[in-house]
Structure 1
């Protein structure tokens, strides 16, 4: 093996089919098995991967010599000879995850076991569909990788997620930076020299929520993201659901209302036009202009923009208007969620995004409306929970996804 990068870029359909190639594929299977199932003995690996004992012993030792797998010593057994147990080495291989948000960027490095090693936030960033913004994204990614303290040759994958319609197969965003013939994935790979996965931010966060917060019996989960936009991530039988073109989850663009409000997608009456953070911010401005009392009026009079986070904070300080706007959004989105659970019958609905921080102000009307408009047999089998993950979840999720892609999960 000349390099880790070449080792993990081997494919089963490569022209070379010799013993070296075959052994490399088996070693990748060993790594993938340990990534999913954890520490293993040689006999467990032999049984699960259907490889002979001599071959398994030889290849695991090679992985130990390459510092990808660690020999953790003897494991206790009821009797007889104690076997050695092996696990993935945390310092052998790393992955980078980047979330390009509407109003901030998050960067992190993870190891083979999905532990976060390094993290950085850039709250000054604002996503705009301009060449200067794309250049800043590229430069920021390059700077983070150069200064993160990890040997660049050990970073085998870079996951980048962003809002809007993103197709991981084509490596393109169909909302931002669409004018170039070169895909965003190709551009990031060219700039960094690292294998790249481009992904949607909600789907990335959904995967992080599912992987880190699920109970053992959950394999069908919906993640509802209520931020400045509205979207869902879908897990079916333990796998992210993409749809034919990779755009599944555009929940916020269902034509749910008979209003004349034009959505960012160009259509009228989308769910986002009434329940998104941007919609709530606009309603707050309209109500202040009509003279409705709120503690946010002073902020508005100073010509300082009102963010959804400001409205949530005001609600927690008993501001009546803020509470009413959040509860209204919760009730309306709850009716739409009833449609989702009637369709997918998930074990769990996870609610995340800025509005999740409103707690009961959004969750009580959401669950009440879902109960009212869904089938009772479906609703009673569905658990609801608020996300407990931090703002780094999307970057973490996309780092997990590029890890899975590189090691062949």
Structure 2
């Protein structure tokens, strides 16, 4: 298992190398605001612990050439993104480059034991492929609220059997390394912040539209989790007064009217009413309809599918407009499976937010699709665990 940095200076140097890649000692000293002698002491200690490695000579800045250092290329981290209907597992190096990535369909309602058997089997396959001998840390995302300090899911609406399950403790024992657990949407926000569309933004909202709807809230570069870990649970904000019943027990929640599950149900209803030949033929072929079928039908120009997406985008935009007026973010990122609905969805959300929110809040507000797709969650998970491992012991 990796040694932890001994002090805040070492932790800062490790994070600079993680986020910026290999660098010269001279440039690191500038970025960390450390004197040459202090920097030399800290870097030499990090070389001794094996957390960093020498990486040749740097380009000349005049005078004696500085030596490059980088994070130890043998460090390996595991990122796990558990969604409602599938599991993503990836191995990265310490600079968060994805070296191997597996996806497997899995219903989260099968419970933690079945899901973690699948996760450990996938991690084993990545090891067997020669990508890692052991892991120096693992980050795990789950699709529900998490009591963050303990790494425990709390009454997650779509995860029966998970309430209070000690995810962090159990996986730490199984994997033999430190583990951190968070809500999957927070991790997707961290992924986009590290390597995606939110790289240069410190205050933004990441909205995941998948089986359910959630929002990662990033303030001053840090994820805001709230007192009990349930910040950003926007799927249960009321979008339609006295609307449809929701899994949470209330009526009219955004999630009950627009999410992967709601979209599939609306598509089925449209077929039953004879409103879409395109969706009817997909139902006949596949025996079922999903959000992906609605996306494909819309791409083929089906008016009913396009209408469903626009209506969902408008409802999402209504809720987001309130958040934008309240929080005044620098960026709104839309991600999750339903991003297959692409620009039709984005246009409807933008129209509603720009119409409803005050001009001061939306004057320079980009609302964009995420860049990382299915790797956002696993990259965010590894960012979370490296934040933990790269802090003083």
Shared topology, TM-score over 0.5? Answer: yes
Cα deviation, 1:143-164, whole Å, max 9, x if unaligned, reads 24642424434x2111111212
Q: 2:109 maps to what in 1?
A: 128
Q: 2:121 maps to what in 1?
A: 140
- Report if aligned partners of 2:22, 2:55 keep a CA contact under 8 Å in 1: no
Find the aligned partners of 1:366 and 1:182 in 2 and give their Cα distance. Answer: 36
2:327 is the alignment partner of 1:347: no
Q: 1:73 maps to what in 2?
A: 57
Residue 189 of structure 1 and its aligned partner are, at CA, apart by: 1.2
Find the aligned partners of 1:302 and 1:74 in 2 and give their Cα distance. Answer: 59
Classify 1:25/1:224 alpha carbon distance in 2 versus 1 (closer, same or farther; 3 Å): closer
Classify 1:147/1:38 alpha carbon distance in 2 versus 1 (closer, same or farther; 3 Å): closer
Secondary structure in 2 aligned to 1:267? coil
Which of 156, 165, 182 aligns to 2:145? It is: 165
Residue 111 of structure 1 and its aligned partner are, at CA, apart by: 0.9
Find the aligned partners of 2:281 and 2:342 in 1 and give their Cα distance. Answer: 25
Q: Which structure has the larger Rg over C-alpha atoms?
A: 1
Residue 307 of structure 1 and its aligned partner are, at CA, apart by: 0.6
Classify 1:177/1:399 alpha carbon distance in 2 versus 1 (closer, same or farther; 3 Å): farther
Structure 2 runs not aligned, ≥5 long: none
2:91 is the alignment partner of 1:109: yes
Higher RCO (CA-CA < 8 Å; seq separation 6+): 2
The worse-fitting range, judged by mean Cα deviation, of 199-208 and 209-218 is: 209-218
- Report if aligned partners of 1:72, 1:87 keep a CA contact under 8 Å in 2: no
The worse-fitting range, judged by mean Cα deviation, of 246-255 and 51-60 is: 51-60
What RMSD over aligned residues (CA atoms) do the two structures have, in Å?
2.6
Residue 387 of structure 1 and its aligned partner are, at CA, apart by: 1.6
Classify 1:162/1:350 alpha carbon distance in 2 versus 1 (closer, same or farther; 3 Å): same
Cα deviation, 1:350-370, whole Å, max 9, x if unaligned, reads 111222222231122211111
Secondary structure in 2 aligned to 1:224? strand
Find the aligned partners of 2:346 and 2:252 in 1 and give their Cα distance. Answer: 23
Find the aligned partners of 1:42 and 1:264 in 2 and give their Cα distance. Answer: 55
TM-score scaled by structure 1? 0.86
Q: 1:18 maps to what in 2?
A: none
Secondary structure in 1 aligned to 2:130? coil
Q: 2:71 maps to what in 1?
A: 88
Structure 1 runs not aligned, ≥5 long: 11-21
TM-score scaled by structure 2? 0.89
Find the aligned partners of 1:130 and 1:71 in 2 and give their Cα distance. Answer: 45
- Report if aligned partners of 1:260, 1:269 keep a CA contact under 8 Å in 2: yes
Q: 1:14 maps to what in 2?
A: none
Which of 30, 34, 50 aligns to 2:17? It is: 34
Residue-pair matches, total: 388
